[in-house]
Structure 1
Amino acid sequence: MAERDRIRLAGFWTRLAAQFLDAAWMLPLGIGFVMVGEFVQGGRGLSPGADVLLQFISALIILIFWAARQATPGKILLRLRVVDAENGTTPPWPRLVARYLGYIVSGLPLGLGYLWMLWDPRKQCWHDRIARTLVVQDPPQGG
């Protein structure tokens, strides 16, 4: 049986919608963190160390969701999962970290790495290819 018969690869618009849903809950967390930092710093802005800490916390939250649920909340709402491209299981931690860092690579050349999935036969962005992952869409439950 061909790979496409076993799994349904997530499309561009569904993945983009999941990103927007994730931004809807991550952005308020980030703003709250910045506001607390501003208060603690007496209105002088975040220190470089606090900015690095915010980036680290954001990355850790996403990595924990990927490891525990194979998806961030936005992907969960849209029935998407990040899976190992070879066997469909949860990718190991080093590959999840590579996938997260691969977002930088995907975004650098004017977002070409994100658009790559539009003509990739496995609908992989560059960060998916780097980490050897796929984003799949599960069928509706009870349907």
Structure 2
Amino acid sequence: EQPQVLWFDIAVNYILPFAYTVAVWMLWSASPGKILLGLKIVDADTGDNIDLKQSIIRYVGYFPAMMVLFIGIFWVAFDKRKQGWHDKMANTVVIRTNE
């Protein structure tokens, strides 16, 4: 491939989704879908909004969680705190809001 096409491909498919997701989690503590469902991502220990480090770890944690038949995502159904592997890695939990 040509270098300028490769750079554009990397930016659109990897860098922008990463930056968008982390930014949205930092601003609203939820993705647009979670907001519509009345859910929020918080620190598992304190209940405060997540920080940049947790956002990055949570995003990266989706990859191993999905690698083998999405077992890490479906883990939510069997975990007592309803945490997926990505939540456990980042020490986060998704809660319902009363808004």
How many pairs does the alignment contain?
Answer: 96
- Give the structure with higher Rg (CA): 1
SS across alignment from 1:71 = coil
Partner of 1:48: 6
With normalisation by structure 2, the TM-score equals 0.90
Partner of 1:122: 81
Matched, 1:97 2:97: no
Residue segments in structure 2 that go unaligned for 5+ positions in a row = none
Partner of 2:67: 108
1:96: Cα distance to partner? Answer: 0.7
Residue segments in structure 1 that go unaligned for 5+ positions in a row = 1-43
Q: Structure 2 CA distance, aligned partners of 1:73 and 1:95?
A: 18
Query: RMSD over aligned Cα, in angstroms?
Result: 1.5
Q: Structure 1 CA distance, aligned partners of 2:76 and 2:94?
A: 11
Partner of 1:7: none
1:1-143 correspondence to structure 2 within 5 Å: 47-54=5-12, 55-139=14-98, 141=99
Task: Write out per-residue CA displacement over residues 67-107 of structure 1, whole angstroms, 9 at most, x where no aligned residue.
Answer: 01101111111111110000111111011100000010110
- Between the aligned residues of both structures, percent identity stands at 32
